[in-house]
Amino acid sequence: MRLSLSTTTLIIAAAFVASVNGTAVPSGFDHRGNPFKVGFQRAIKKHQGNGLKDFAGAKNNNSLGLDVELRGGGSRADIATCSGSPPAILKWAYSAVGLGVTAAWTTIVITTIRSNQPLGAMMPCYQHPLVNRISVLSAVPLILSTYATLRSAADSDSWESLSSPSSRRHNLAMVATGVAGALWVNFAPLITKIPGTVPLASHQCYTGVMKAALIGAYASSAALSACVWQRSLPDDVRTCNPIACVGRVADGVAASLVSIAPANTNNPVNVKYSLLTAGFLLLTAVQTLGPHPLAVIPSWTGRRLARAFPAWTLLAAVTSYDLKEATEKKLLLLDQNYKTLSNGMKGFGVVYLASKVGAIFLDPSFPESYHAVQLVPGWAAAAIVFATLTLRSDHESPVPLGAK
């Protein structure tokens, strides 16, 4: 019975992924042209003299901005040239896959952070696994808020919302987390192995139906988001060539990385989300590439889930970047989808910080049973302080930063 949800989700999600198909471009539409260019050509006929020159200069200046926005994940021109409408069942596909990923991660947390995993690895007290589970379950608000916004974008008569930079980034993020999760489940015996044990033991090793269900939930998430991302591309650049898609994603990631800095350093909310983006990216790199015990920060789960949690700090980085852009465009407090993402980020912070309060003040085995954390106390403290940024209000302070 424990597997029924994941197995059912896999079957439903697989069927839904197959329903995401392309729509032909209307015959009367010149997909090679840019709708802004068409509008410009029409408007230019109405202008003469110096007014015409000024208008043309404004058009030329704007073209660079559109190109940068395109490389960052999409532009209004992209949205306008993506024809057709999303399948009606797509929003339900996002719901099913979102529940499947949440169930898969929760199952991994519960079955990995427990006594006798491996046999003989007993927990010192019941509080120890409880607070450690809470620590990594902080990813659940992020997962749910992401799928809530993608489902909202899919519940539309056009591809405009799904073609937005925000939706594209989150679809790509779910591709990354889905692939990472499936790989972790498959190679868990190697990733969670315990050095020095004879014979070699691991904290986790999934087999049979459980392994298939977990991999299926993650793979369904990756497949659905990959299909939707590819379909949301503008008609004139959409391609099934994997190399071209990888190049486009690389361009977008590069453009995002060089624009992490806040556009307005006097805006504390803009600064907050810039710091969160950079910080979550750093934590992702530390957990993925850093040696033990550094890799246990920020999860505090030892070798059990230290290499699985970076998938969710990556999602947190993408969400933070989206909220940074929304702040700069004055949409953060106006658009419901951004409010949902912001609530997911706050939910992450509340759950994560609650786990640290529980570990320090309610776990009688602290600090003796937190061997890895004791070896990197500075990093552990910095991660806790960093997480408090997620609780900062999205409303600007009455006095701008830097003001005397």
Phi, psi of 265 (to 5 degrees): -70, -10
| 28: phi then psi, degrees, rounded to nearest 5 | -90, 5
What would the pLDDT profile of 345-389 be if each residue is shown by its tens digit? 999 999 999 999 999 999 999 999 999 999 999 999 999 999 999
By the 8 A CB rule, do 216 and 168 touch? Answer: no
User: What CA–CA distance (Å, rounded) separates 154 from 163?
Assistant: 10
Contact indicator for 364, 127 with CB cutoff of 8 Å? yes
pLDDT tens digits for range 288-326: 999 999 999 999 999 999 999 999 999 999 999 999 999
Per-domain boundaries in the chain: 4-15+80-391
| Six token digits for residue 255 | 């453009």
* φ/ψ of residue 174, rounded to 5: -75, -25
| DSSP strands (E only) in 159-310 | 193-194, 201-202
Cβ count within 10 A of residue 260: 16
pLDDT at position 402: 54
Residues comprising the chain, all counted? 404
Average pLDDT, the chain: 83
Distance between CA atoms of residues 315 and 321, nearest Å:
10
Task: Measure the CA–CA gap between 353 and 378, rounded to whole angstroms.
Answer: 16
Per-residue pLDDT at 261 exceeds 70: yes
